Amino acid sequence: MRILMVCLGNICRSPSAEGVLRHKLKQAGLVDKVFVDSAGIGGWHEGDTPDKRAQKVAKNRGYDISGLGARQIQPDDFSSFDVILGMDHNNIKALKQMPQGSAVIDLFLNYAHAERTEMVDPYYGDMQDFDQMFDLLEVGCDAIIQRLKGQL
C-alpha cells in the first residue's frame, strides 16, 4: 500500500500527517507494508523543511518531522500511489484537475472516517492551531491504521 498526503505547500499539514502516520505504522508493525509520502499542490516550498511550529508540536508529541522536505506533486504520483489524501476541499479540487491515474483520491479525514471533513490550515494561525491540527492527525492516523489492518 502506498499513501500520499497532500496539502497546498507541503510544509504544515501533509508533512505532519506523513510523520504521524509513519510513526504509528511503526508502532503497529506495518511499516514494511505501507509507504507514506507527502507533497504539495504547488512547488513554492520545494526542498524546505516543515514549518518550525509544526516541527515543535511534533517533537513535543514524540514525532520527528525535521528531516522531511517539501516537494510538488507529480503526474506519476497518480499511478504510483494507491491512495492520495488531500487535507481540504480545495486540495481535492486541484488534485482532480490534474492528470489522473489509478490512485483513489479522498479527503484525509473522510478516509479516516472522522466527523470533520477538512483539516484546517494552521499556517496563518498560532501554536494552538498547530496543536489542534496534530490532535486531528493523531485521531485520523489511528483510524487509518485500523482501516489498513483490515486490508493488509
141 catalytic residue (yes or no) = no
* 98-117 mean pLDDT: 90
Find the catalytic residue in 53, 88, 121, 141: 121
Tell me the pairing of strands 83-86 and 35-40: unpaired
- Global pTM reads 0.96
Find the catalytic residue in 7, 51, 53, 77: 7
pLDDT-derived band of residue 151, with 50, 70 and 90 as boundaries? confident
61 catalytic residue (yes or no) = no
Give the model's pLDDT for residue 13: 98
Return the closest-CA partner of residue 116 out of 135, 103, 130. Answer: 135
Q: Where are the beta strands (DSSP E) in the chain?
A: 2-7, 35-40, 83-86, 104-107
* Burial class of residue 38 (count of CB atoms within 10 Å of its CB; 0-12, 13-18, 19+): buried
Q: Which amino acid is at 130?
A: F
Find the catalytic residue in 12, 13, 22, 88: 13
Give the model's pLDDT for residue 112: 81
Q: Which domains does the chain have, with CATH numbers?
A: 2-151 (3.40.50.2300)
* 90-95 mean pLDDT: 97
* 117-133 mean pLDDT: 95
Is the CB of residue 67 less than 8 Å from the CB of residue 47? no
Distance CA 91, CA 73 (A): 11
Residue found under cell 524546505: 48
pLDDT-derived band of residue 115, with 50, 70 and 90 as boundaries? confident
